[in-house]
Structure 1
Amino acid sequence: MSVKKNIREFTLPELKEYFEAIGDKKFRAMQAYEWLWKKNARSFDDMSNLSLELRKKLAEEFELKPLTVDVTQHSSDGTLKSRFRTFDGHLIEGVIIPTEKRSTACVSSQIGCSLACKFCATGLMERKRNLHFDEIYDQVALLNEQSLKMHGTGLTNIVYMGMGEPLLNYKNVLKSIERITASDSMAMSPKRITVSTAGVAKMIRQLGDDKVRFNLALSLHAATDEKRNRIMAINETNNIAALIDALNYFYEQTKNDITLEYVLLNGENDSLEDAEDLVKVYRKIPTHLVNVIEYNSVAGIDFVKSGEDSTQIFTDYLAKHKVNVRVRRSRGKDIDAACGQLANKDKVA
């Protein structure tokens, strides 16, 4: 018995070749392609403008592995979190963060994570596998449908800041962005997409070589190797100097925006000395913004967020030294949808 191929791995020219080979017309390929990438068909039976016989043949020869929505939770602040189930029974999470002018989707790239950053709920999980490009695409498509239904507007922005390290699933992440931005699909501008990394220097340089058009965010969270090693094990093999070099290379090759993400941890990285160290790093990178992030508590992790006074003193120091800084307030904390909290909990709101 032959193994079925994933039909979404086929390009439009390849589908045209297939339909010609079975004696059908080329335009059937375009019809099927539209169902796959514009109409978001969940099965071959959905492709209503194809004959029953053709739909049956496609189902016999190909497989379609869509994500399904397992649980959706609604926060009091308007944030929406969905837990998705993969074809093989794994669970991942994605979030919609609405504002007056934007509807931002936060999507996952892996099932679990292997980096074990000490402040992150996902880091407590074992990495099961990478998500395939069409599974990442499905998150965006389903969240877009939810955004339209809940807020009357589709997604305006996408951030790869959910579960997993995007640059350790490089090919699938880039392929998903190619599909999301394609004119025959969602046609999202790459400038409205940001990929966040914990800092894989080699792959940051690869993004530059590949001349990607989307933006990049580095989860820095500490501005010296000594402190970053303590909270992010990846720094032991991708130290700050290597990351500075890689980010400069990325910018030289792409001219895309770079953001530094910095979660404030009480007594760990929120002193004036820490702020001074961050200014030094900031001045070595062509970054356009530092996002200072409120820490969100995670069961089993001892870190706590910095107080309002400490946060104000820290950010005032940055601003005084000409750092473009913004405080990113937590959204969706009551449903564990905030930054660092995604961990497939069973709680339903």
Structure 2
Amino acid sequence: MEKAIKLVDIRSLSLAQLKDALVEMGEQGFRAKQIYEWLWVKSCTDFDEMSNLSKSLRENLKSRFAINAVKVRQSQISNDKTIKSSFTLYDGNVIEGVLIPADDRMTACVSSQVGCSLTCKFCATGYMDRKRNLNADEIYDQVVLIAKQAEEQYGHPLSNIVYMGMGEPLLNYSNMIKSVERITAPDGLNMAAKRITVSTAGIAKMIKKLGDDEVRFNLALSLHAANDTKRNEIMPINEQNSLKALAEALKYFYAKTKNPITFEYIVFHHFNDELEDAKELAKFCKHVPCKVNIIEYNPIALADFVNAEADKIEEFATYLRSQGITTNVRRSRGKDIDAACGQLAIKEKAGQVTD
């Protein structure tokens, strides 16, 4: 019995690698650029649609390569117009992404892993197992599909991307970097790097690597406590990446990139909502040029945390501003469909599957 040939994911190849593969197949190397344009500029996911290639070349490509396209499985629209989508991957795994519309921007929130290994106590994704990293093209596909939703539903192009969905981007470093390269490249989606924010729970050595690579996108750190004891309690990653280690990594990152940092901070009721907590955060902010986004907490069934009282949040923000720290209080979007920050955990609604 003849053994089936395992098809190579064509989007895992660089342009040079694709050119070499074509020559090896007996095809003309210059076709690589045409194929690359179909894959990354036109976001084509079907060889048969590559109309400027001969039928014989298309058949040759199909015999050796796969385009492991991500497909929308289900979409839900929130009362505030946020759209949460679950996406099916080529191997049957499912992830989630979100379109967050606002008056001045259209933001795609994308996932970088299937599940997550960091077990942050307040995050629904943290209670899931990490099954695998996403490939660069799977991250890219989420952006393309969410951008299509922005155009079709609201008539506006996608303006921003945040790597704040399922998973820890810095634990999928090479694929995250490659996805940003394809999204920002002139022979890709050609989006400005400054419109992309990668959010991390805080892995010091990888933050330093971002500095060494002199990345141009924005970096956000999910801080949530500027006190090691409290941070250890809610974010086990802090036990190996203390605040001191993170401060050193952030200073190194800023020295290399000159990119200010965004600190994300959820103010939990009776946990980190006192003036002393605000003072600790203000002190931590002195390490690098930064701003603070105070994020509304979105309760999950698996955890007992609740959002701080509105007056406590306002007092907290007022203190930070009094210390000269740019501080924004972010209201949750998509909470009614479990699309808000910390709620992504593949909870689908019956009758909503769209594929």
Which structure 2 residues correspond to residues 275-314 of structure 1 after superposition, within 5 A? 275-287=278-290, 289-314=291-316
Instruction: Let me know the Cα RMSD of the aligned residues.
Output: 1.3
Q: Which residue of 1 aligns with 2:111?
A: 108
Cα deviation for residue 27 of structure 1 reads 4.1
Contact 2:198/2:220 (8 A) holds in 1: yes
TM-score (norm 2): 0.95
- Please give the alpha-carbon distance, in whole angstroms, between the structure 2 residues aligned to 1:224 and 1:17: 53
Aligned partner (choices 65, 70, 75) of residue 73 of structure 2? 70
Amino acid at match of 2:253: F
Match of residue 323, structure 2, among 318, 321, 342: 321
- 2:343 — aligned with what? 341
The one-character-per-residue Cα deviations of 1:284-327 (angstroms, maximum 9, x if unpaired) are 2221x100000001112110111111111111111122221000
Contact residue 215 and residue 256 of structure 1 kept, 8 A: yes
Q: Is the partner of 1:195 in helix, strand or coil? A: strand
TM-superposed CA distance for 1:26, in Å, is 3.9
Q: 1:226 aligns with which of 189, 204, 229?
A: 229
> Which stretch has the larger CA shift, 52-61 or 112-121?
52-61
Number of the residue aligned with 1:216: 219
User: Equivalent residues in 2 for 1:1-150 (5 A)?
Assistant: 1=3, 2-150=5-153
Kindly indicate whether the alpha-carbon contact (under 8 Å) linking 2:166 and 2:344 is maintained by their aligned counterparts in 1. yes
Inter-partner Cα distance in structure 2 for 1:166 and 1:204: 11
Q: Which moved more, 1:245-254 or 1:309-318?
A: 309-318
Q: Contact 1:248/1:286 (CA < 8 Å) preserved in 2?
A: no
Match for 1:210: what amino acid? D
Following the alignment from structure 1 to structure 2, what is the Cα–Cα distance between the partners of residues 29 and 321? Answer: 55
Deviations 1:58-111 (A, max 9, x none): 111111101000001101111111110000001101111111111011100000
Could you say which residue in structure 2 is the equivalent of 1:253? Answer: 256
For residues 285 and 226 of structure 1, the distance between their equivalents in structure 2, rounded to whole angstroms, comes to 22
1:197-208 equivalence runs, <5 A: 197-208=200-211
> Gaps (5+ residues) in structure 2?
none
**Residue number in structure 1 paired with 2:162:** 159
- Between the aligned partners of 1:202 and 1:27, the Cα distance in structure 2 is 40
Query: Any idea what SS the aligned residue of 1:259 has?
Result: strand
Letter in 2 for 1:180: I
Residue 277 of structure 1 deviates from its aligned partner by: 0.9
* Of 5-14 and 98-107, the range deviating more from structure 2: 5-14
Bigger mean CA offset, 315-324 vs 39-48:
39-48
How far, CA to CA, are the matches of 1:264 and 1:138 in structure 2? 33
Give, in whole Å, the separation in 2 of the partners of 1:8 and 1:314: 47
Q: Give the one of 160, 166, 175 matched to 1:172.
A: 175
Q: Is residue 45–residue 55 contact of structure 1 (8 Å, CA) maintained in 2?
A: yes
| Structure 2 residue identity aligned to 1:25 | Q
Distance 2:317 2:223 in 1: 16
Equivalent of 1:332 in 331, 334, 337: 334
Query: SS at the partner of 1:169?
Result: helix
Number of positions where the alignment pairs a residue of Structure 1 with one of Structure 2:
348
Asked whether the equivalents of residues 121 and 343 of structure 1 are also in contact (C-alpha less than 8 Å), the reply is yes
Q: Could you tell me which runs of 5 or more consecutive residues in structure 1 were left unpaired when the two chains were aligned.
A: none
In 2, the alpha carbon distance for the partners of 1:225 and 1:277 equals: 11
User: What's the CA shift string for 1:149-204, capped at 9, x where partnerless?
Assistant: 11212211111000000000000000100110010010011111110000000100
Q: CA deviation at 1:25?
A: 3.5
- Residue 43 (structure 1) shift: 2.1
User: TM-score, normalization: structure 1?
Assistant: 0.97
Determine the C-alpha separation between the residues in 2 that align with 1:22 and 1:202. 41
| Structure 1 outlier segments of 4+, above 6 Å | none
Note the C-alpha offset of 1:49: 2.7
Amino acid in structure 1 at the alignment position of 2:146: L
Does residue 264 of structure 1 match 2:267?
yes
- Identity value in percent: 57
In 2: Cα distance, 1:240 partner to 1:17 partner:
47
